[in-house]
Chain A
Amino acid sequence: MTAAAPTLRRRTASRRVVLDRVLLYTVAVVLALWTLIPIYLVALAAFSERSAIYEFPKPLLPTRFSTDTMSFFVNSTGVLPSVRNSIIVAISTIVLGLVIGAPAGYALARFRFPGRDGFQVGVLVSKMFPIAILSIPLAVTFIDLGLYDNLIAVILVHTAMVLPFIVIVTSGVFLAVSRELEEAAQTLGTSRFGAFTRIALPLALPGLAAAAIFSFVTSWNEVFAATILTVRNTTLPAQVLASLNISPLYFRFAGGFFMIIPSLFFIFFMRKYLFNLWGPGR
């Protein structure tokens, strides 16, 4: 009896561990299903025949896969030009954001200077700022400047939205690139600029790529500013939003799924930098 007691206790303990594990995985899987099932369902709707949208009850399995709805969406008037515009705006946002923001990130990583703390607070505040709402006064300015219904206006607002994030990510990236390496290159006779382009920049490339991907997705998703600042010459989300009331359901489902596609890849590339982007600022 006395010998059996500890094993019994150990057995109940290990049973508790197993039970713990089962509970943990159950919760984890339920939360994963909560995230994934809606995406699966809209994909199911987007990849069925157009007529199937009005069927009831709906099949819950992809038994009648069809590209009918998606190809109808892509070939609808205005969709392809708006996709092209979205890509132009997103890529321009990346370039402009990096050209303006990366030097600031580099300065934060490498120098102590007067006004540094104030600048960092400013970046944090603008990170949280609802910039899209400023499109209304900006639209008035852009009309005066002749930039209304012009993609440049959208690019500028999107750049303002991503700039704080680019500064934060790039400063983190350059902090991780050893300063000594750059200094060593300088002592070997390279200029400061040469040390930057030949040492720091190549090492920082993966981080800069992450900042670029973040910018792309932010711009690709943004709808308020794009809607306010453009009429005909618009981006994909603004195009879908403008036709919400007049378009058939299958058009909307296809559009919804189409807009989601980049997000499925986003996290894959961003994993390492997620916490840098949204964590407490340094």
Chain B
Amino acid sequence: MAVGARRAASFPAAIFRSEAALPLGLLAPTVIFLSLLILVPIAQAVLLSFQAADGSFGLDAYKKMFGDTAFADSFRNTILLLVAIVPIQMVLALAMALLIHSRFPGHGVFLYVYAIPLAISDLAAGIVWLSIFTDQGYLNTILTGLGLIKEPLAFLSYENLQWVFTAVVVAESWRATALVLVILLAGLQLIPREYFEAAELFGANRVKRTLLVVLPMLKPSLQSALIIRTIFAFNAFAVVLALAGRQLPVLGYEAYDWYYNNRNNNVAAAFATLILVLTIAATVTYLRLFRVREGELGK
């Protein structure tokens, strides 16, 4: 802190010296670009959401948003998907990360395989699982082949909303676990090997080692994985649309729908603002819940 303060004190003088002007000049394009495409649109979204179509200010857009027949459902579905998907991803990704980290022969190949979905879009993932869950799809083929069911089941029909929901959970868990894996593995690599060896030496078995040594040290990575996954879950859109269509409304879809089909920028902006508020609230909550103390790993 003291160093920072001293540096800040010499700031006005330093900026005119070429040594400080050069880095600031190199950073300027990024700062300007991100401000124009993030900060300005955030302000705009909030502004738009408090305007009516004729430009007058008021709560019109929010009244329409809360009055939307699909609003309660879309809000509930978004939260439920988040609650269902995030824990599954955390467990799966942790299992994958610990496996890879044990450096067994051939772990490189497995890392390659596990990481493939990292580069698959939510839309493509939705379509992949559509081929499995659709009426004449592969899941029904396998289940009838095994003699478990007589007739194909309509997994994606509005009559079986719990199945539609499950299909989305499976598709999202399949796709985005890879991202959590990479974050956790990056965190694991920062833990000095000696910690594992010491724990082993003191006779801690694998489960104990994981719970008592690895997880606490992995807290910063778990935290950032949770934040990223939660933020993306609030924006879930294409995977839901590909699998469930309109049967399972989510906030991201409503924002798209109000903009694209109803041509109402203001209500769409109200949905966008709601998603932004949820994003910020979730991030702050996670930061509070898992306060990473100075000096802990990953700092």
Binding site for B on A (CB under 8 A): 21, 24-25, 27-28, 31-32, 34-36, 38-39, 41-42, 45, 53-58, 60, 99-101, 103-104, 106-108, 110-117, 119, 122-123, 126, 128-134, 136-141, 156-157, 159-160, 163-164, 167, 217, 220-224, 227-228, 237, 240-241, 244-245, 249, 252-253, 255-256, 259-260, 262-264, 266-268, 271, 274-275, 277-280
8 contacts between A and B (CB under 8 A): A28-B104, A42-B127, A58-B137, A58-B138, A60-B141, A134-B37, A221-B119, A256-B123
> Quick check: B187 and A280 within 8 Å, CB to CB?
yes
| Prevailing SS type, chain B contact patch | helix
CB < 8 Å: which of A53, A103, A256 contacts B128? A256
> Quick check: B152 and A56 within 8 Å, CB to CB?
yes
> Quick check: B186 and A275 within 8 Å, CB to CB?
yes
> Lowest 8 CB-CB distances: which A-B pairs, in order?
A256-B127, A279-B186, A263-B119, A221-B121, A137-B44, A266-B119, A160-B37, A111-B23
| Binary contact track B160-198/A, C-beta < 8 Å → 1, others 0 | 000000000000001000110011011101100000000
Known: A28-B104, A279-B187. A217 touches B8 (CB 8 A): no
| Residues of chain B with a CB closer than 8 A to A163's CB | 30, 33-34
Q: How close is B144's CB to chain A, nearest CB, in angstroms? A: 6
Question: How many Å lie between the Cα of A106 and that of B276 in the bound state?
Answer: 31
Q: Closest residue of chain B to A38, judged by CB?
A: B128
| Binary contact track B13-53/A, C-beta < 8 Å → 1, others 0 | 01100011011101101110110011001101101100000
> Quick check: B38 and A130 within 8 Å, CB to CB?
no
> Quick check: A244 and B30 within 8 Å, CB to CB?
no
Q: What 4 additional pairs, Cβ within 8 angstroms, besides A134-B37, A137-B48? A: A137-B41, A221-B120, A221-B121, A228-B259
Question: How many Å lie between the Cα of A114 and that of B136 in the bound state?
Answer: 62
| Residues of chain B with a CB closer than 8 A to A113's CB | 14, 20, 23-24
| Residues of chain B with a CB closer than 8 A to A129's CB | 38, 231, 279
| Residues of chain A with a CB closer than 8 A to B187's CB | 279-280
Question: How many Å lie between the Cα of A36 and that of B235 in the bound state?
Answer: 26
